[in-house]
Structure formats: C-alpha cells, structure tokens
Amino acid sequence: MGPEQAMWGGGSRVVRACHVHTERGMETRMGNSASITRNSIVGLGICGSLLLAGCANSTSSTSSSSASPTCMRMDDKQAQAAFDRWNASLATGNPDAVVSNYAPGAVLLPTLSNVPRDTPAEMRDYFEHFLQKGPQGKIDYRVLRSACDMAVDTGDYTFTFKDGTSAAARFTFVYSYVNGEWKIISHHSSLAPDKA
C-alpha cells in the first residue's frame, strides 16, 4: 500500500464508508422528512471530497504492485498546455471551438454572467457574447492538484479585451482525462474582489 492509499485507507474502503454514511443519512432523512440532519449533509460533503481526492488514487485489489499505472496525472506543463488550448480557442472567435474544450456534462460558472451553464448550448450562448469582447487570458498565479485522471487548477488570471480594458478574475478548472486528453468538467470564473 502506497502512502496515498494509506492516507485514504484504500479507495474501496472510502467508497464503502461513504455508502454506509449516505445510507444512514437517508435513513435519518426518511425518519424525519421535514429536514436533513447536519451530520448527513456534512457526511455527504466529506464523502464527495474523499471520492474526488482519495478514491481516484486507489488501485484495484486484484492488481499487483508490478502492474503499470492505469491513470494519468496532470503536471504543470500539461495544465499550462490545457489553458493555452482553451485560450487559443478564445482567439478564434468561434464559440464552438471554446465549447469543445469541455467534456460532456461539464458545468461553467462564467466570469461575466450570473447564469450557470451546464449544457453545450448554454455554454455556446455565453461564449458567443464573451468572444465579442476579444478576450485573451493570462495566468497570474496557479496551484495545481492532481489525482488519477483528474486535476484541479486554481488561481488568478487576467483577461485583456480588444478595447484595451482588462479584468482580473479568479478561476478553478477541474479537468478529467477523457479519451486520451484533458477535458474541462467544471470551470468557475469570477471577477476578483476590489482591493481594499
């Protein structure tokens, strides 16, 4: 058992623990249909975090220690390449080119809209308007966390627009390794708060 598996207790045990806790939460909810208990909500949040961060690190109990890894981990160079691909698609002015960076079922919480976008058509609608501004992004700061076939790239970026204005924003890209390439499954971008 590697250090990550020891830390997370092995993926299958985490899944079982989450399943049991979720069942208990559901039993509690069914017993009191007016509300969900705080423990059930906290438990589901913890399980979600563990599944994202820990279960992806687990290996099958039938695999041997000499077997080659079956997962990909994003490194800094790949994170920059994924952002550069997304940024280059902005430069095309084609919303479909931008949307092609997102995996099916992805969610976009965009910078200049209060409307969440969780379908390709909704994302396309947002980018049609956003691209009219001629945006180009530059990452100012990033922190990358990577697990098996999944990565979270978080930081600050600045958009410059064709009219000479700019906008500082915060970002989180969540990537999944899909059919041999890193695709965005969740993208949250929000304007940076004004400095005090």
CA distances from 176 to 47, 59, 150, 191 (A): 19, 17, 4, 25
Name the phi and psi angles at 184, rounded to 5: -80, 125
Residue 40, pLDDT score: 37
Question: At 86, which helix (H) or strand (E)?
Answer: helix 76-91
Note the pTM of the prediction, 2 decimals: 0.67
Residue 195, pLDDT score: 61
Residue 97, pLDDT score: 98
Name the range with the highest mean pLDDT among 17-31, 93-107, 182-196.
Answer: 93-107
pLDDT higher than 90, residue 28: no
Choice between 163 and 42, residue whose per-residue pLDDT is larger: 163
CA 114, 119, 121, 127 torsion: positive or negative? positive
Lowest mean pLDDT among 11-20, 112-121, 158-167: 11-20
For range 68-97, the mean pLDDT: 93
Contacts of 71 (CB under 8 A, 6+ apart): 56, 148, 149, 177
Interatomic CA distance for residues 118 and 122, integer angstroms: 7
DSSP string, 60-75: -TTS-TTSPP------
pLDDT higher than 50, residue 145: yes
Residue 33, pLDDT score: 35
Residue 69, pLDDT score: 58
Residue 194, pLDDT score: 81
Contacts of 161 (CB under 8 A, 6+ apart): 133, 134, 135, 167
pLDDT higher than 90, residue 32: no
Question: At 114, which helix (H) or strand (E)?
Answer: none
Burial (Cβ within 10 Å: 0-12, 13-18, ≥19) of residue 110:
buried
Residue 55, pLDDT score: 41
pLDDT higher than 50, residue 148: yes
pLDDT higher than 60, residue 6: no
CA 69 to chain centre: 22
Q: Look at residues 55, 136, 124, 42 and name the one whose alpha carbon lies nearest to residue 88.
A: 136
pLDDT band at 132 (very low <50, low <70, confident <90, very high): very high
Interatomic CA distance for residues 47 and 19, integer angstroms: 9
Residue 70, pLDDT score: 81
Mean residue pLDDT of the chain comes to: 75
